[in-house]
Structure 1
């Protein structure tokens, strides 16, 4: 069952496929490499409807085409993002679904659609139009924008880092009830308050527990940089008990705009997870200077991941998201907010196109000790970020009387394993890692 779950999530829709006049199908390993990490790290999930509402593309007749083994197929793009065959009026909800339908007419054994790479809109691959959407909506990353700085610009980089350390990202927070149709033209970075199952008169569909080691590594990762970070969650799903165990965090040592490295990082994480006997059970990311509520973009992505992981028939696999808010200045406590959430479809009584973000309650399981994997990952994260402009200057102030060093140590102190309850040894190790020698 766990292997099936991993196959579901590591193998997403946005794959590559042959569209030339030869009879090669997608290689399954190539399909997996363009999966969750590609979506989460390089811009997250996108649908045709999103591209239409954002005016990247527009609906109309005979705008979509696909070539496969000498045959050419034409389809209409409907205003709601569905694809319609002009002759039969048969509709499809995604490019991959339509690609599978067309290719099976030529090759009945065809199993993968790979629609975004093979379906054309006005003669260009849908991947091209999706990339245009990413460029339009992905928040600019100062670190990426300045990644080509020359080495002799050290003074400029120091000033930039100081500016990042004092950055306070004021993001609008709204209630889900304020969301209506996507045509509202809301900023996708708008934050949406999570609802509680109790408030909606519903029971949380499964229980969750999370280890202190996984929480510590996520929190540590989020504190190192002023940019958003992303990672994955490995664990176990107990179908009979309806219990999800989050056992280990897997940070992505990859820049948000680096799509080529994203695939390599994901493959490393996949192998590491398999070697540890864990399944992929979710993902995490940070909101460095804002609240730990999901953005509109986060809601869409979380719903997409849940649909990919849910399984079929009587088999169900959950997928949770976690948001860490390390430096929200509206919160004076040292410990970061770490919010676990999932997304429910909108209620029938609410005229909304957006899913409802739901807070997920979890219990904490204290590890007996820190593993070598966690300690090694902490050092590798420092090595990855320490020479970048968005690396935090930990001796500078987060609050008037609190340094960034005091902030990270204070937050990690509540996530230590049993053999580190004295705290001093581990927190000294953290200080040794992050302060310049």
Structure 2
């Protein structure tokens, strides 16, 4: 589901052979022509084709993290923009097939990015947020996500958020940092990453909300675990140390698995080809035990 708070505004992309992604709250790609031709009846089709909102998946029986599920709403129920609507409202994503369209761009994301997002999401009972950075190639219409920048701050802390954005926006060579918020509930044994892109509303209804579209992604396995990922993991452990919402990793998540076992199982599918980093991850896991 997409949060209304993450909806970005349209900007033109420079026409260069390969350029950095712009800093927006959506996948930074040019507005596809199909977006301008979505007819009024497409909203009715979405309303009929979308499944009923489901509650949060709480995983197998056993001890679980306590969290109130946020039930998403259907896009067709939103109507025009309304300042009175809660900006944290979750909206169900729509597939391109549901509106008889093709995804107008391709997305690839590295395993190191997924590993860091997954690690961050497992540390706390609260929602987490961060930024994604990558490159946009106009020739191949490919957005490649190469870096993740977890926000070591609390949602709603405006003062700290400003400092985080300033740090993230520092020049980093060929990698730019478009705001790409990622959230979590209570994932199963392996977390599910669900990318989306906010497609502009039809031209005849410019005051409607953008349409959150489900995006298909190709995953790239990195050759090794980079130092920046290890540093971010260590800083995250230090940030949540002693926090009341820190996950108790030595407690049972299910009848035969602790929360630490659950974390290890989820990260196992996102590790790089080179396995020589395993002992370093074990050191980080030891820090988690001490912190919780």
Q: Normalized against structure 1, the TM-score is what?
A: 0.49
Q: 1:260 to 1:179 in 2, by over 3 A?
A: closer
Q: 1:274-332, CA deviations, whole angstroms, 9 ceiling, x for partnerless residues?
A: 23421124413213x2xxxxxxxxxxxxxxxxxxxxxxxxxxxxxxxxxxxxx14xxxx
Unpaired runs of 5+ residues, structure 1, are 11-35, 37-163, 290-326
| 2:280 paired with 1:266 | no
Contact 1:233 1:249 in 2 (8 A): yes
The match for 2:30 is none
> Partners of 2:81 and 2:65 in 1: how far apart?
34
* Number of residues of Structure 1 aligned to a counterpart in Structure 2: 239
> Partners of 1:173 and 1:267 in 2: how far apart?
32
> Partners of 2:74 and 2:191 in 1: how far apart?
22
> Partners of 1:383 and 1:404 in 2: how far apart?
18
> Partners of 1:401 and 1:187 in 2: how far apart?
40
The equivalences for 1:338-353 within 5 A come to 338-347=193-202, 353=208
Unpaired runs of 5+ residues, structure 2, are 1-13, 26-62
The match for 1:413 is 268
Match for residue 435 of structure 1 among 286, 289, 292: 289
Q: 1:236-273, CA deviations, whole angstroms, 9 ceiling, x for partnerless residues?
A: 111111111100101111222322222222222222xx
> Partners of 1:168 and 1:187 in 2: how far apart?
19
> How far off its partner does 1:432 sit?
1.4
Q: 1:286 is paired with a residue of what secondary structure?
A: coil
Q: 1:411 to 1:350 in 2, by over 3 A?
A: farther
Q: CA RMSD in A?
A: 3.1
| 2:1 paired with 1:9 | no
Match for residue 207 of structure 1 among 71, 92, 106: 106
Q: 2:121 is paired with a residue of what secondary structure?
A: helix
Q: Which has the higher helix share?
A: 1
Contact 1:211 1:365 in 2 (8 A): yes
Q: Normalized against structure 2, the TM-score is what?
A: 0.72
Contact 1:236 1:281 in 2 (8 A): no
Q: 1:249 is paired with a residue of what secondary structure?
A: strand
The equivalences for 1:148-167 within 5 A come to 166-167=65-66
Q: Which has the higher strand share?
A: 1
4+ residue segments displaced more than 6 Å:
348-352
The match for 1:256 is 155
The equivalences for 1:34-45 within 5 A come to none
> How far off its partner does 1:190 sit?
3.7
The equivalences for 1:37-76 within 5 A come to none
Contact 1:335 1:412 in 2 (8 A): yes
Q: 1:280 is paired with a residue of what secondary structure?
A: coil
Contact 1:217 1:249 in 2 (8 A): yes
Q: 1:345 to 1:165 in 2, by over 3 A?
A: same
| 2:292 paired with 1:278 | no
Q: 1:339 is paired with a residue of what secondary structure?
A: coil
Contact 2:19 2:136 in 1 (8 A): no
Match for residue 211 of structure 2 among 356, 367, 388: 356
The equivalences for 1:42-191 within 5 A come to 166-182=65-81, 187-191=86-90
